[in-house]
A and B are shown apart, each in its own frame.
Chain A
C-alpha cells in the first residue's frame, strides 16, 4: 500500500495547523461508519483503523454543507481547508481503488538504466541539433536564389474550364432569386391548439370570485389546463401586489385560501368596490 506518503501529506495540511481558529477539525460528523469530529476521522483513516474504501466521502461533504448552513457564513479559510482535505481524501481513495503495480515498476529504474536512457535522449537531441546546423548551412548556400512564385495564368490551369461569356442564362439566376423573394405560405398551427388565456382575463375572473368572498385557488382553476393555472397564479400575484387580495395555506401542498386583503392599497379602491 502506498498510503504512507499520503499520510504524511494529509497530516501536514490536517488538523492543528490553524491553531486556535475555528477549524474544520471540529466539524462533527454522524456517518454510518463513524461518528465524531472530523480530525478524529482523519487520524483513524491514516492509522487505517477506518477503511477509506468503506467510507462514503459524499456523506462527509453533505455533513460539511449542513454545517455551513447552520453557521450561516462562509469562512473562506475553513472552506479552503476543507476542500484541500476532502480532495486529498478523494485522491487517496482513488489511488487505493486503482492497482498501483504499474507505478512501482516505473519508479524502480536502476540508476545505470536511467543514465543510459538519458544518454540516449541526449545523443538523439544532439544529433538533430547538428543536423539543424547542416540545414542552416544549406540554406546559407542557397542565399540569393529565387524561384518563380507567380501562379499559372488562369487560362493555362488544369481546372474546370471557365464558362465563356454569354453561355449562362440570366433567367436561371432571376428564377432562383424570385423563389427567394416570394413569401412562403403561412404554416398552419391549428393542430397545435395553443390555449390562449391572458392575465387580464384571469384578473377579471379572480376579482369576480373575490366579490363573493373567500375562495380556494383550486376553485378558481377548477378543471383548467396547466397554462390557465399558471396564468391564474400570475393574476393572483398581481392582485397581491396591488393589495387587493392575500391568501393562506395551512400546510404544504394544502388548499390555498384566497380572500380580499384587509388593507386596501391606495389607488385601487374601485377594484373591490362592487
Chain B
C-alpha cells in the first residue's frame, strides 16, 4: 500500500506544474494526511541531494519536483535561456516591499522608495513574481507576491522571510542619523527661510 502510494504521489508531482499541498495530494489519492506525509518523507529520501537529477522540494505552500542545480549548465545549453533573469535593484526593492507589506499599492511602494516603482512593478507583474490582489479603499490596485515568487526564491511560505526589522540600524546609529538631519535642517533654516 505505502509503496504504491509513494509511486502515485510521485506521478502526481511529475504531472503538476505547481506545488501540490498535502491536502490536495490526500484528496486526490483518497488517503489520510498522515499517509501522505509518510509517502512524501519516503520520496524526499529517495530524491535527496546527490541521488537523482531531480529533487523533491517543499516550496510555495506545497511539494514540487525541481531540477538539481548540477544540471543547470546543460539545461541552459538545451533551453538557451536563463531560468530567471536577475533582478535590477529597483525590481528587488519593489519586490521586497511587496513581500513584506502585502497587499500594497503602487503609490505606497513609491512613497517608501521615494522614487516611482511603476516600471519595476510592471516587470515583476509580467514575470509573474507579483500579482494583483484587489483594490485599496481608494481604488488603487493592490499587489501581493505569487506562488511563483515562493518557488523561485526557495521559500515554503512567506513566514520564512526574516523579520525586516533585523536590518534596521541600532538605536545609537539612529540617534546619530537624527542628529545629523536636525543639524542639516537648522543650517538650511538659518540661511534662507522666510521669517513668517
Contact = CB atoms under 8 A, between A and B. Distances in A.
Interface of A: 111-112, 114-116, 118-119, 121-136, 138-139, 141-153, 156
B164 A128 contact: yes
B181 A118 contact: yes
B162 A134 contact: yes
B69 A145 contact: yes
A146 B181 contact: no
- Residue of B89, B92, B162 most packed against chain A (CB within 10 A): B92
Contacts of A139: 84, 86-87, 152-153
Given A119-B174, A128-B112, A148 B17 contact: yes
Taking residues whose C-beta sits less than 8 angstroms from the other chain, chain B's interface range is: 35 or more
Contacts of A115: 178, 181-182, 185
Contacts of B114: 121, 125
A144 B70 CA distance: 7
B181 A119 contact: yes
B100 interface: yes
B75 A131 contact: no
B189 interface: yes
A129 B186 CA distance: 28
Nearest to A139: B153
Interface in B88-118: 89, 92-93, 95-97, 99-100, 111-114
8 contacts: A111-B185, A136-B86, A143-B83, A145-B72, A146-B66, A146-B67, A148-B65, A149-B17
The B interface is mostly helix, strand or loop, or mixed, namely: helix
Contact of A119 (B68, B96, B111, B177): B177
B149 to A, nearest CB: 9
Contacts of A118: 181
Given A111-B185, A112-B182, A151-B17, A145 B92 contact: no
Interface of B: 14-17, 55, 57, 64-72, 75, 83-84, 86-87, 89, 92-93, 95-97, 99-100, 111-114, 151-155, 161-162, 164-165, 167-169, 174, 177-178, 181-182, 185-186, 189
- Residue of A114, A130, A143, A144 most packed against chain B (CB within 10 A): A144
A146 B65 CA distance: 9
A47 B112 CA distance: 45
Nearest to A131: B96
B89 A126 contact: no
B121 to A, nearest CB: 14
Given A124-B112, A145-B69, 11 more contacts: A114-B185, A116-B178, A121-B111, A123-B168, A125-B114, A128-B112, A131-B100, A136-B87, A138-B153, A146-B75, A148-B14
A122 B152 CA distance: 29
B168 A127 contact: yes
B181 A126 contact: no
A125 B113 contact: yes
A118 B179 CA distance: 12
Contacts of B154: 138, 141-142, 145
Contact of A147 (B15, B65, B164, B174): B65
- Residue of A123, A128, A141, A150 most packed against chain B (CB within 10 A): A128
A173 B8 CA distance: 43
